[in-house]
Amino acid sequence: MGPPPSSPGLPAGMSCGQAREQARRVLADYGAPAVLIADVLTVVSELVANAIRHAGGVTGFNVQRRDGLVVIEVSDCSLRLPHPRPPSPDGPHHFGWRLVKTLAPTVFIRFRRGGKTITATLAAYTSRP
């Protein structure tokens, strides 16, 4: 049995690089400042990498600017909640979920049949608060 189908219009099996490129295009369309772009790309990278490593891959992805926010949605086929892990003494590992929660203070997890969607929001500011 293969992976569940992606949501309509959202690419299944998306890589971190493809997700970052899509996010860059969305942010460029509204002239986001460099610091916001860096924060959004970091959150996108961590959520997509976690979906690939721990949740069977990406089944849906979306980034949009809405109501003064940048909204990032990453879907996967796992029903397990993300959780912080102890830092790895062997290298820079296990910081992803903490980093997401630091850069995107509003994070929601919606469960659906066959998986979950993590929604992270960042303020669409014009300079770092």
* Single pTM value for the model: 0.82
> Residue 91: which pLDDT band, with cuts at 50, 70 and 90?
low
- What type of residue is 113? R
Q: Distance between CA 107 and CA 33 in Å, rounded?
A: 22
SS3 content of the chain, % helix, strand, coil (to 5): 35, 25, 40
Q: Distance between CA 121 and CA 125 in Å, rounded?
A: 12
Residue 5 has pLDDT above 60, yes or no: no
Considering only residues 2 and 82, tell me which one the structure prediction assigns the higher pLDDT: 82
pLDDT of the residue at 92:
58
- Domain annotation covers residue 45: yes
Q: What is the mean pLDDT of the chain?
A: 83
Residue 116, φ and ψ in degrees, nearest 5 = -145, 165
3-state secondary structure of 105: coil
Residue 38 has pLDDT above 80, yes or no: yes
Average pLDDT of span 51-80 = 92
- Domain annotation covers residue 23: yes
Provide the domain limits for residue 88: 16-123
Please state the domain count of the chain: 1
CATH number of the domain where residue 56 is located: 3.30.565.10
